[in-house]
Amino acid sequence: MYINRINSQTNFKAVNQKYFEWAKKDYSLGKNVSTEWIQRLRYDVFLFKEISRQDAIDTVNAVKKYMNKTDECLEDMIQIFKNPNP
């Protein structure tokens, strides 16, 4: 899975481009991310282990920054990824 390294001036270490572009598309259509986006990201972190927790956190933070105004759903996702015992 392609991970894009981010400029050191930000707090992000790596953002998964697949999920970031998908979120941008969702946002352009409905001003939020889809439930499918949320589930797939969680599956890739916890079930398939294709994305590290930190990369998922960085991706969600980048999406939040892109969207400017988000609901508590993305905050909840970050807490889930930070929790050592999901």
pLDDT score recorded for residue 39: 96
Reported pTM: 0.81
Provide the domain limits for residue 78: 13-82
Query: Residue 2 domain-assigned?
Result: no
Query: Residue 5 domain-assigned?
Result: no
Indicate the number of domains in the chain: 1
Q: Would you say 19 and 37 are in contact if contact means Cβ atoms under 8 Å apart? A: yes
Task: Say whether pLDDT at 1 is over 70.
Answer: no
Instruction: Round to whole Å and give the CA distance between 21 and 63.
Output: 9
pLDDT score recorded for residue 70: 74
